[in-house]
Chain A
Amino acid sequence: AQKVTQAQTEISVVEKEDVTLDCVYETRDTTYYLFWYKQPPSGELVFLIRRNSFDEQNEISGRYSWNFQKSTSSFNFTITASQVVDSAVYFCALSDMEYGNKLVFGAGTILRVKS
């Protein structure tokens, strides 16, 4: 069975601090996808990134970066120089690569960025 653990329930930082959101996953599949979604206070779910299990290269997009390590089954998300607009719930998710597959989500991490 697949499982995603986001051990940090809530994190509070002051604007401009860097923050890392942890994600640990479990799967028996040898090929899979990992995702991060953002849910701002307005409630919609916004896709941030998809990473496949073949590619362990870290990815950077502006202030966001992702560290994928298969050896530790982790897919951590770092926000550099956080801003108030980053305040949201962040979900890590896992799926296999089969057709019409299902995403399994972690419980989410609430990030509060204070000015």
Chain B
Amino acid sequence: NAGVTQTPKFQVLKTGQSMTLQCAQDMNHNSMYWYRQDPGMGLRLIYYSASEGTTDKGEVPNGYNVSRLNKREFSLRLESAAPSQTSVYFCASNLRTQGAPGANVLTFGAGSRLTVL
């Protein structure tokens, strides 16, 4: 079982460049999330998608856009990268169905380390 797959694992960008982080899950989960992890700040939610066709802002959405391409895929785009976006990005997914076994337990991808120079 692949679980949650993120690409790329590492990326170096120059300020102002754009890029898209890809995420796919094969667990038939309804909800998908993008978090960023910075030292001393834990994981902060950037955007999430509660179901196919919907997306909502999280705690730190500025400078990012997302697309829920289908039930499996949820991409994160940086239109004009800034050094403040240097971080480790995690995609995650979970079951939406309330009361289902394991509901709300996030399964994470391996992370994508992004450096913006």
Interface size on A, residues (CB 8 A): 25
Tell me if B104 is interfacial: C-beta within 8 Å of chain A.
Answer: yes
Does the CB pair B104–A44 fall under 8 Å? Answer: no
Q: Is B110 within 8 A of A43, CB to CB?
A: yes
Does chain A have a CB within 8 A of B105? yes
Given contact pairs A43-B88, A44-B110, A45-B90, A98 touches B42 in the complex (Cβ within 8 A): no
Contact among A4, A43, A100 for B30, CB-based, below 8 A: A100
Cβ < 8 Å to B, chain A residues 14-71: 33, 35, 37, 43-45, 47, 50
Q: Which chain B positions have C-beta within 8 A of A95?
A: 104
Q: Given the interface contacts A47-B106, A100-B31, A102-B45, does A9 sit within 8 Å of B111 by beta carbon?
A: no
Answer yes or no: B53 CB below 8 A from chain A CBs: no
* Total B residues in contact with A, Cβ cutoff 8 Å: 29
How many whole Å from B12's CB to the nearest CB in chain A?
17
Are A99 and B98 in contact, with the CB atoms below 8 A? yes
- Complex Cα spacing A35 to B58, Å: 19
Known contacts A45-B90, A100-B31; A107 and B40 CB within 8 A of each other: yes
Report which B residues bind A (CB closer than 8 A).
30-31, 33, 35, 40-45, 48-51, 58, 88, 90, 92, 96-98, 102, 104-108, 110-111
Q: Show the binding face of A for B, using Cβ within 8 Å.
A: 4, 6, 9, 33, 35, 37, 43-45, 47, 50, 91, 95, 97-108
